[in-house]
Amino acid sequence: MTDYKKYHEEEQPYQEEQFRPEVVKEAIFVGSEALAKAPKIYGVPTGIEGLDDLFFIVEVENGKIVKKNLGGIPAYSVFNITGVSDTGKSLMVEQFAVKQASEGHRVAFITVETPANFVAASLKLRAAAMGLEFEKFEDNIVLIDAASNTKIRENLPDLLATLAYAIKTYKIKFTVIDSVTGLFENKESIARGIVRRIFNFLKKWYQTALLVSQKRSGHEELTAEAAGGYAVGHIVDGTMVLAKEIIDTTYKAKLYKKEVGDLVRLFRIDGCRMSGHDTKTHFMEITETGLVRILDPISKE
């Protein structure tokens, strides 16, 4: 028997077994059943000045459609925060973790690049800059150190089992991962698979989550392509894109109303499935004390 024939004869029964169609009744819901399981959406304050007003929902009141400001990101949403190095991604997620912890909620902070002790020191600085006393709520932030621990960084099931344990033990509602990119270093072809599993996990546990993803400078700034570069944007509920640009032409100076040589930081919400949102490109700043603030849109029309 040739190898080819042997291969096919051996594979045949296995393939039939694999592809016999099966009805998965658990996957079918009528509208009312699905709706009964839908949690009510409300706004989760982020601790990032200027961001919370950019989300809204539309409700029917006395037969009329009204637009209501959410005052935060929609609860149970999983966001991707993307941008090249030094655009403020880590600062943003630290502000979010500090804000939620200061309000008495437990937050899981999975750190993939920086060891937990350094992140804790940074969180403390962020709290001080926000005018909050870190000691009062420091234990509300549960750090999971995947930076120092290869087992959880390189083995997704171990990481998710660890997170599930932390969520159950500490009754965690909010999760931050800085960064998911660090979970697929040198394995970019499986990036989508990893992000999808993390996304499904976070949904199952009703987490409101911010996932940082690093963007290569080659990807165009502030576009859908910018959303992590690995089509991560299609998997999560929404993406926030951070960018920085040097004003190197008089055209840009005019466009941004800045001087040649200035650095401008830009911010845009690139889609959100769970609520309405502002779609403009905004100026952004990082204050001297290390806080991200979202400013006015670059054009007001």
Nearer to ligand ATP, 105 or 265 (CB): 265
**Binds ligand ATP (CB under 6 A): choice among 117, 200, 289, 299:** 289
Q: Minimum Å distance from CB 85 to ligand ATP? A: 3
Tell whether residue 162 is a contact of Mg ion (CB under 5 A). Answer: no
Stretch that binds ligand ATP, among 56-64, 89-97, 135-143, 258-266 (CB under 6 A): 89-97
Strand partners, 60: 65
Tell whether residue 117 is a contact of ligand ATP (CB under 6 A). Answer: no
**Binds Mg ion (CB under 5 A): choice among 90, 95, 162, 175:** 90
Q: Minimum Å distance from CB 258 to ligand ATP? A: 17
Partner whose binding site includes residue 214, from Mg ion, ligand ATP, none (CB under 5 to 8 Å by kind): ligand ATP
Partner whose binding site includes residue 162, from Mg ion, ligand ATP, none (CB under 5 to 8 Å by kind): none
**Pattern of binders to ligand ATP over 199-218, x per CB under 6 A?**
---------------x----
Name the closest residue to Mg ion (Cβ).
90
Number of amino acids touching ligand ATP (CB under 6 A): 13
Tell whether residue 82 is a contact of Mg ion (CB under 5 A). Answer: no
217-220-225-228 Cα dihedral, nearest 10 degrees: 20
Binding site for Mg ion (CB under 5 A): 90
Binding site for ligand ATP (CB under 6 A): 83, 85-91, 214, 286, 288-290
